[in-house]
Amino acid sequence: MKTVLFAILFPFIFFIAAYSQDVQKSAKTEKINGKEYYIHTVKKGETVWKIAKAYGVSPDDIISENPGMKEKIKPKQIIKIPVKQESEQNNKINLGIDTSITGIDTVGYDCGKPMLLNSYNIALMLPLYLDNVNQIEPDDPDIKNKDADNYTSLTFVQYYEGILLALDSLKKKGFSARIYVYDVDEDTAAILKILDKPELSKMHLIIGPFFENSMTIVTRFAKKYSIKVVDPVLTDDDILKGNPNMFRTSLSIPMQLKQLAAFIVKRYPDSPLVIVHNNKDNEKYHLAVFKTALNKEFKKAGKPENKFKEVVYNTSGITGITQNFSAADTNIVITLSNGEIFVTNYMSRLNDIYDKYKMIVFGLPSWKNFDNIETEYMQNIHLHLFSSSFIDYMDDNVKSFIQNYRDRYKTEPDKYAFHGYDDAMFFFNALKKYGVNFDKCLDKINGLSMQSNYKFVKTGENDGFENTYLNIYRYEGYKFINARKHPKIIEQEEKKK
């Protein structure tokens, strides 16, 4: 197992630390219109960001106090920098890399006056499989016909590249971090060796690892040193129990079903609901979770419980569904069965009746991957799908991300690139704005998301946090669109009949 330390900011950060002390000692102060400023003469190689860090202010503070000044500055240019009052400076805690942050009192933590560090230590525990890199043969005549999934060492590299793009973006806004990258897979003996490294106990955030056994070991370690941990994939629910510093960014299937129930009851509170399944063993648990969630949402909305019909499709077929339809209302059909053969036949039968009944059909995330479904059918029955992630390729931010990724890495971003970018944007931004105690300010944190938003809730009083934001999208105009952003389908349904 190899450890790769990407010292992306190391020399720069340590230079800034010394530079900050020297520059403030030599700079003169002057009162202008009753306000105190440092008067700074720009030296060769200095940037607004570097100067801002040296004086303990933000780049925006400098730009706003120097009308007409842009982010690009020139040597010998004279600028004024606001002198922070002592109370403001005390909000910025310079603990440094060798000081533990576990003693910070978070009782009554004030998100308006966050306790910030000058820099943060972040560990990325990713399955890079560096020992397998030699399996990639550039001279292979078939290499152009292969993708990253053909090579274990390339499977998750785009997740890391997405993180780097997010880091670049936040660096421009003043975020400073030391990034440590570790090659971590299923080998628990290897992860134990990594955790013995002296720098690990000084981390402020760990992202990964991607495997359950390794994650279990890391969470025990992180709990001991009060380190925040991000679970980027779905590990066992027990991981969150007793680990208040854990954050799961992807939704478990039960959480997806709970959020789907909340969406449907809120959007269609009075519409007839029909739940379709095949009564298979692998469906029964999810069916029970969904029905319980529906009744809970009905109760919250002041509606009667069990306000839905249940159809076992492999017994009663399409007739079982239409018998429970209303001829006057828009019928909501939630389908909890899977399999391409079933779905292909099922969609065809629903399409046969779409001109007789108004309907909106909800299917499972995997349906999007089935090749044999007619797009016309999806359009006619207003097919809705749900998932932890959804990439809206018509969104301007997504287009910009794709272009930036192409320019830097000379290839197309896959789902892991988007996921890595989103995770980094949220948690790095959380550290930047609210420090290591950002969990006290979760409702105030925003990140520019490409494939999912983040809405965390604690799974228990002493447990970790799980993301609850479910993406709902539908097929319309021969493409999938975000149903939360574009909710006009009800009007279209009324007009159709």
The domain spanning residue 142 has which CATH number?
Answer: 3.40.50.2300
Residues with Cβ within 8 Å of 112's Cβ and at least 6 positions away in sequence, in order, are none
Residue whose C-alpha is closest to residue 84's, from 23, 40, 22, 24: 24
What does the pLDDT read at residue 70? 63
Per-residue pLDDT, 23: 52
At a CB cut-off of 8 Å and minimum separation 6, what does 331 contact? 271, 272, 273, 274, 325, 357, 358, 359, 360
pLDDT per residue of the chain (497 residues) written in tens, 0 to 9: 343 333 333 333 334 344 444 454 466 788 888 888 888 888 887 777 778 767 777 777 788 788 877 667 888 888 888 886 544 443 433 333 333 333 334 456 788 889 999 999 999 999 988 777 766 666 666 666 666 666 667 788 999 999 999 999 999 999 999 999 999 988 888 999 999 999 999 999 999 999 988 999 999 999 999 999 999 987 677 889 999 999 999 998 999 999 999 999 999 999 999 999 999 998 999 999 999 999 999 999 999 888 999 999 999 999 999 999 999 999 999 999 999 999 999 999 999 999 999 999 999 999 988 888 889 999 999 999 999 999 998 888 999 999 999 999 998 999 999 999 999 999 999 999 999 999 999 988 876 788 888 999 998 888 999 999 999 999 988 889 999 888 776 444 444 44
- Residue 99 and residue 122: Cα distance in Å, rounded? 15
Note the Cα 240 to chain centre separation in Å: 17
Q: Based on the fold, state whether residues 222 and 319 are members of the same structural domain.
A: no
Q: Could you tell me whether strands 35-41 and 28-32 are parallel, antiparallel, or unpaired per DSSP bridges?
A: antiparallel
- Tell whether 171 is covered by a domain: yes
In a domain, 62, yes or no: yes
Q: Are residues 269 and 356 in the same domain?
A: yes
Domain enclosing residue 55, as ranges: 3-89
Query: What is the DSSP-derived secondary structure letter of residue 116?
Result: B
Same domain, 240 and 272: no
> How large is the C-alpha radius of gyration of the chain?
27
pLDDT of residue 110: 87
In this structure, the answer to whether residues 378 and 283 fall within a common structural domain is: yes
Of 47, 74, 89, the residue at which a domain comes to its end is 89
Residue 466 confidence (pLDDT): 93
Are 75 and 144 contained in the same domain? no
Q: Model pTM?
A: 0.75
Asked if residue 381 and residue 259 are part of one domain, the reply reads yes
The verdict on 435 and 291 lying in the same domain is: no
Closest by Cα among 88, 59, 56 to 71: 59
The Cα angle at residue 369 between residues 366 and 373, in degrees rounded to 5: 105
Number of domains present in the structure of the chain: 3
Q: Of 70, 89, 108, which marks where a domain is finished?
A: 89
Q: Return contacts of 86-95, CB within 8 angstroms, 24+ apart.
A: 89/56, 91/115, 91/116, 92/56, 92/116, 92/118, 93/117, 93/435, 94/118
Question: What 3 state SS string does 205-259 have?
Answer: EEECCCCHHHHHHHHHHHHHHCCEEEECCCCCHHHHCCCCCEEECCCCHHHHHHH
Residue 165 lies in a domain: yes
Same domain for 368 and 450, yes or no, is no
pLDDT at 336: 95
